[in-house]
Amino acid sequence: MAGAGPAGTGKIRVKFLVNNEKKKVVFAESGKEFVDVLLSFLTLPLGTIVRLLGKESSLGCFDELYKSVESLDASHFQTKACKNMLLRPLSAAGKLCEDLVVRIDDTNHRAIRVCRQPKCVTDTPYYSSVRDVPCGQCGESLVVLWSSWTKGDREAKDDGVFVRGGMSYGITDGLQVVPADTDNLMLLLRDLGVEDVDILEEKALELGLEEIRNLLKQILTSDQPLTDIIFNPSHESTRTDEAISMDAYVSSEDDSGSDSNVIKVKLLVAKTDQSVVHAEVGEEFCNLLFSFLTLPLGHVIKLLGASSSISCVVNLYRSVELNLVDCIDESRDMVISPRLPPFFSCSNPLLPSDEEPPTVSSVTFCSPCIRNCSHLVLEKMKCSHDNTKLLAVNPKVPTLTTEIGGGYAKGPGKFLVTDGLGVVPFSLTNALHELKGKELSVSKLETTEVTFTQVEVIRVTFFLSSCLHTTNLLA
């Protein structure tokens, strides 16, 4: 049952079956509202998760990568909008998620931006969904916000965002989700080793914005997130991670030209143990790193073959694949095969990611009425004559275009990347700064070259897996 309030700011009532003696949640039961919120986590871009959790997401090196994007000057990006796209990435499922009873992502996915000058709107009918995109005619930023989508634009079954309503769902402590029926009840009890149901007590909680945000943090840091939000209110991590390092693939004359799609990275390493001091990379590799922030969590799990150190997320992902087949409609692909919003993918053969095609939007007033109004009333403009079609522009390209493609980072200067994914412009002083405090003499350092090729999907997958649960990526 959901509490009253505008979409996204309500409360969700969830029943928890607990074993107070062991201080453990056996399972929870809820309606569609809570399950919808859990599944929405899979649609959140990694950059959004880092931002929402105050850059303390426990997603390993992604917190540091996000901070690096914040610190980099806009001159190191193809456009000013690129930085905003990485710091506040959109979700292709964002419009649907605006109807969640509790929505932790404060991004307005239904808003589009147009030029504040009426003449520009009629002569160049373009829009963008991100900030700091200039108008192709007057050069001012597109700032006027209009809502381009409402819930009535889609047919929702039982008003659920993802799963069907009119039924209950069971959720284990490890976030396996099943429809509530007798067979699943017995399976849950047997799998959890519960013989005497009399020891179980029911505890009902109303979960609001703060509780759901804390739950997301627990999902990323604990193997028993439901138990932790009930019995561990301090929200300390209960997972012990093992650091995993990436085996470097050193190029050779025999295979360096075997594939035209390659990215080469120069590493400064210690001769004694081959530990990495830093990497010197070009804009192609930076685009690879920056693109991670735009990937939905479910997309990363898919790339990893539903295998990750974050077991709760994998259980949630597999629940959609296996347990909820009859409980979720066409939005299933948005959860387990989430695509990126238009223009957010980065043309890179090493990080396959599909994006939604650019859409033609419209506003409910005609060009003559727009032309005759002042920019002061444009934001409130309405008429009943006709709709005006608007074309989406690519925020990553400096010149006005509706074509897809483009990258985020801007060369020709190089970038310095630390083993924790800190990114700064490459300079002699920045390189020396990374050397200080490492107690390494210059004579014990050497450079080596690492090559990534298009066919090394397994290596890229391992690269992703390392990012998700270690703060030491290149070591």
What is the per-residue pLDDT for 277? 87
Contacts of 409 (CB under 8 A, 6+ apart): 76, 77, 78, 283, 286, 287, 290, 415
Handedness of CA 382, 388, 393, 399 (dihedral sign): negative
**Contact status, residue 395 vs residue 128, Cβ threshold 8 Å:** yes
What is the per-residue pLDDT for 409? 95
Whole-number Å distance between alpha carbons of 311 and 224: 10
Whole-number Å distance between alpha carbons of 240 and 243: 10
Q: Tell me, yes or no, whether 381 lies in a domain.
A: no
What is the per-residue pLDDT for 2? 52
Percent of the chain topping pLDDT 70: 82
Percent of the chain topping pLDDT 90: 43
Q: Tell me, yes or no, whether 281 lies in a domain.
A: yes
Note the pLDDT tens digit of each residue in 316-362: 999 999 999 999 877 898 999 889 999 999 877 677 778 999 988 87
Whole-number Å distance between alpha carbons of 11 and 31: 13
- Distances from the Cα of 55 to the Cαs of 51, 59, 438, in angstroms? 6, 9, 26
Helix (H, G, I), strand (E, B) or coil at 126: strand
Which residue shows structure tokens 């991100």? 130
More confident residue, 184 or 2: 184
Whole-number Å distance between alpha carbons of 303 and 320: 16
More confident residue, 71 or 151: 71
Helix (H, G, I), strand (E, B) or coil at 179: strand
Average predicted confidence (pLDDT) for the chain:
82
Q: Render 253-308 in DSSP notation, one character per residue.
A: TTTTTS-SSEEEEEEEEETTT--EEEEEE-HHHHHHHHHHTTSBHHHHHHHTTS--
Helix (H) or strand (E) holding 315: helix 311-318
Q: Tell me, yes or no, whether 387 lies in a domain.
A: no
Q: Tell me, yes or no, whether 127 lies in a domain.
A: no
Q: Render 49-104 in DSSP notation, one character per residue.
A: HHHHTTT--S-TTHHHHHHHHHHS-GGGBSSHHHHHHHHS---TTHHHHTT-SB--
Q: Tell me, yes or no, whether 17 lies in a domain.
A: yes
Note the pLDDT tens digit of each residue in 376-435: 666 677 777 777 788 999 999 998 899 999 999 998 999 999 878 899 999 999 999 888
Question: Using 50, 70 and 90 to split pLDDT, how confident is the model at 148?
Answer: low
Q: How many domains does the chain have?
A: 1
Q: Tell me, yes or no, whether 129 lies in a domain.
A: no
Which range has highest mean pLDDT (3-12, 211-220, 248-257, 386-395)? 211-220
Whole-number Å distance between alpha carbons of 414 and 285: 10
CA 151 to chain centre: 23
Note the pLDDT tens digit of each residue in 245-296: 333 333 333 444 445 577 888 999 888 888 888 999 999 889 988 998 999 9
Whole-number Å distance between alpha carbons of 91 and 161: 15
- Distances from the Cα of 350 to the Cαs of 4, 60, 464, in angstroms? 46, 21, 11
Residue 328 is given by DSSP the state B
**Domain span holding position 210:** 12-110+149-358+394-469
Q: Tell me, yes or no, whether 370 lies in a domain.
A: no
Note the pLDDT tens digit of each residue in 69-128: 999 999 999 999 999 999 999 999 999 998 899 999 999 888 889 888 888 887 778 899
What is this structure's pTM?
0.87
**Contact status, residue 237 vs residue 222, Cβ threshold 8 Å:** yes
Residue 322 is given by DSSP the state I
Whole-number Å distance between alpha carbons of 301 and 353: 13
Tokens of 185: 């009840």
Note the pLDDT tens digit of each residue in 176-185: 999 998 888 8
Percent helix, strand, coil in the chain, to 5, is 35, 20, 50
What is the per-residue pLDDT for 193? 78
What is the per-residue pLDDT for 254? 42
Question: Using 50, 70 and 90 to split pLDDT, how confident is the model at 28?
Answer: very high
Q: Tell me, yes or no, whether 56 lies in a domain.
A: yes
Q: Which residues of 213-234 are buried (b: 16+ CB within 10 A; e: fewer)?
A: ebbbbbbbbbbbbbbbbbebee
Residue 27 is given by DSSP the state E
Nearest to 320 by CA among 309, 308, 306, 340: 306
